Structure 1
């Protein structure tokens, strides 16, 4: 709005703007301070939630069996077997001899020219618990046709068929999918023109096919005790240990060692300690007060954060002896430090120490898990505080809008008042000029 300044000479728009700004500043600054504080606190709460989530993730790994009971195996080179150990495996040493390997039954037919029609009817193949019936029809009964028909009917179970083109003709080769005597093959026929008898293998009755690999079970000796197995992967010989037989080494004994995987446990425990120290450190930094600079942190004096810090420190203090026995020291500032040499010694003397401390339903790990779960759950402490701060930020937006409306109204009022004043001054100046003329004429 352009207003003449010929009367009083006052720049009314500029004056009104300055007066409105002076009225606005203290209120706007108060709102801005509140908004900044809320945003700072919201950021601090988000950082705390991230730190406590990281601590829970690290704790979850320790709470699992593979976090506290990790096992490692040691097998000499060229032992004829490999081994892996689950967390349930007992620590110890075992003398193992691989006497023989399990083999898959294999049969081979006589050689025939590739285009030869073998016969028609039904092949019945028994492989362990599998019974496969294969229909062989006229016009689709060469060795290649029969091979394809068997594989289609078996669908990967029991037996697989292949062809070998040798000097004496084409051979059909049938191989049991499972090793050991349990997968042994038996082949009979029914119906048709009788030509499929060339593929029969029924010991004691008729055997047209040649047994090229005998079905045999594996044999292994552990600490002088013999065990046979239809598979070269044995999972139930030593609880928690899987033996994979690679080569027969009769009359040769090799020592399998199952021990605590110290490296894995150190990594898992150190990850927990790092996450714990991050959480403790953050609770201190966001509530700190600098007496020299008289500067507060985002959550200085916040009872919720100080309460969380106190809970962490109290639970650790209650288990100070168990932690110390594992090489974990509680420092004066509440953080933790791991002495790996002491941990290795402790686990060698007591492999279950770490599991007892962090596993179970009543120990340190369980209590810390409950505490972290309650603050991190939906609508827990962190979510509730964040919701409260976000609601406060919305009120500041409303306050800004109300302030804008009040200042616009004030501007209108000031403009009207100064405009009226300007009009009055202009009138007075006109009257003064008229009187001056009249006096001059006298």
Structure 2
């Protein structure tokens, strides 16, 4: 502990000295020990901020690469078109579909079986008896009329509640009301067979049923192959493709074109270039000084050097796929500052001529895409061995040690402060008592000698 002079003026003044200020002055040199620790914590905190940004941007870059290397991702996406949307429209093309052209001829549409009852002049007439309904080759189901189902509307409700496989409703027009039964299954498999034992108790008339529409399958040819579909939504005629039949024109050929989704591929590569450039700019920014001339937090850091080297090498790594052996063939070029640019015209030309080779260059084992993905998985914030993660862990360890040093030093200073304050308060009390002690001595001297000291 360094020596600190105590200035209390005249020893006989009784003024003493400022204990708190004196204690602070005595401990100032001890407290200065913490300064380099605090400075190091500030530097580490600034590094943590940069590392966090790097980790986030590397994560974004990894995600953009995954979109290109995922076997069911953007490169597998397809889109389709119909040459005659009045006859056929496409509703979906999955990754299971294959680019190509198909010829479809729609001979007839699928129809759903329906039946309807005789007309009742009064919809509220009381009914009795039963109705038996069979859907296709299924088991016949009988619904018996009781007090809760003895009108057209309540009988329709009872049929629907029975979950027989038909949709029942009441149709009312100028002629009266009828019970309508429509199969829940389209095509021939949903053909209805209705057996009626219903009676209009109000009029005494029996109630019969007529066929509204016969259940038949759609008939079409796909590339010359006959196809039967129970529904006008056809999902199995062209692998991975779903299309809707709208009308039947037996002599009309409809061309269904399935193509790769080049627009989404271009967007995905553009996203990759943007994400890559963000990481490069994070790195290059740390290689210089800030506006005040101070070195950036990670200036000279081996972490930066490792990230830069690994990324650069990954951009030229990986095996070729057919005619594609470099990212430049995908329209990606390298700028002088290390960033990338994407020429969409070059990319489109390559997609048009060598799509399968592009897929292989990004997705085959040992390809550029797979090699880059592997590299990125070792660079980011992912535990346990990501480069950024390890740098963050090292900083955390150092910060913990520094904070412990500061905590221990503060505890020591607090103990010293208590002891010093006690000692100096005692000394201060003594100094402040000197004038009265001198007065006592003078009074004693006067009493013994009779000499008046002039002090009372």
**Shorter-chain TM-score: which interval?**
0.7 to 0.9
Q: Tell me whether 1:180 sits opposite 2:161 in the alignment.
A: no
Uncovered stretches (5+) of structure 1, i.e. residues with no partner:
200-207
Q: Tell me whether 1:163 sits opposite 2:170 in the alignment.
A: yes
* Alignment deviations for residues 340-379 of structure 1 (CA, whole Å, 9 cap, x no partner): 0001000000122332122244323323333333444343
1:28: how far off? Answer: 2.7
Residues 16, 428 of structure 2: 8 Å contact kept: no
Give distance in 1, aligned partners of 2:57 and 2:137.
55
Give distance in 1, aligned partners of 2:406 and 2:266.
55
* Alignment deviations for residues 401-430 of structure 1 (CA, whole Å, 9 cap, x no partner): 333334345556766479759958997996
Give distance in 1, aligned partners of 2:267 and 2:26.
64
* Alignment deviations for residues 127-157 of structure 1 (CA, whole Å, 9 cap, x no partner): 2365462431343333223211110111xx6
Q: Summarize the Cα distance change of 1:248–1:19 in structure 2 as closer, same or farther, 3 Å threshold.
A: same
Report the equivalent of 1:317: 316
Greater share of residues in helix: 1
Residues 16, 414 of structure 1: 8 Å contact kept: no
Q: Summarize the Cα distance change of 1:92–1:413 in structure 2 as closer, same or farther, 3 Å threshold.
A: same
Residues 132, 153 of structure 1: 8 Å contact kept: no
SS of the residue corresponding to residue 258 of structure 2 reads strand
Residues 116, 210 of structure 2: 8 Å contact kept: yes
1:384: how far off? Answer: 4.2
Give distance in 2, aligned partners of 1:12 and 1:303.
52
Give 2:373's match in structure 1, choosing from 350, 369, 373. Answer: 369
SS of the residue corresponding to residue 251 of structure 1 reads coil
1:15: how far off? Answer: 5.7
Residues 130, 158 of structure 1: 8 Å contact kept: no
Give distance in 2, aligned partners of 1:7 and 1:31.
41
Report the equivalent of 1:147: 156
Give 1:401's match in structure 2, choosing from 371, 393, 407. Answer: 407
Report the equivalent of 2:362: 358
Give TM-score scaled by structure 1 length.
0.81
* Alignment deviations for residues 144-187 of structure 1 (CA, whole Å, 9 cap, x no partner): 23211110111xx6211111123443211111122211211122
Give 2:93's match in structure 1, choosing from 67, 77, 85. Answer: 85
Report the equivalent of 1:96: 104
Aligned 1:22-61 pairs, distance under 5 A:
22-24=28-30, 26-61=32-67
Pairwise CA RMSD of aligned residues?
3.8
Give distance in 2, aligned partners of 1:412 and 1:172.
98
Report the equivalent of 2:276: 276
* Alignment deviations for residues 9-61 of structure 1 (CA, whole Å, 9 cap, x no partner): 88544762563364045323212111101211221221121111111221222
Report the equivalent of 1:246: 246
SS of the residue corresponding to residue 33 of structure 1 reads helix
Give 1:334's match in structure 2, choosing from 338, 343, 346. Answer: 338
Q: Summarize the Cα distance change of 1:138–1:222 in structure 2 as closer, same or farther, 3 Å threshold.
A: closer
1:400: how far off? Answer: 2.6
Aligned 1:421-436 pairs, distance under 5 A:
none
Give TM-score scaled by structure 2 length.
0.79
SS of the residue corresponding to residue 90 of structure 1 reads coil
Give distance in 2, aligned partners of 1:135 and 1:232.
31
Uncovered stretches (5+) of structure 2, i.e. residues with no partner:
1-6
SS of the residue corresponding to residue 236 of structure 1 reads coil
Q: Summarize the Cα distance change of 1:421–1:217 in structure 2 as closer, same or farther, 3 Å threshold.
A: closer
Residues 115, 181 of structure 2: 8 Å contact kept: yes
Report the equivalent of 2:350: 346
1:295: how far off? Answer: 3.6
Report the equivalent of 1:220: 220
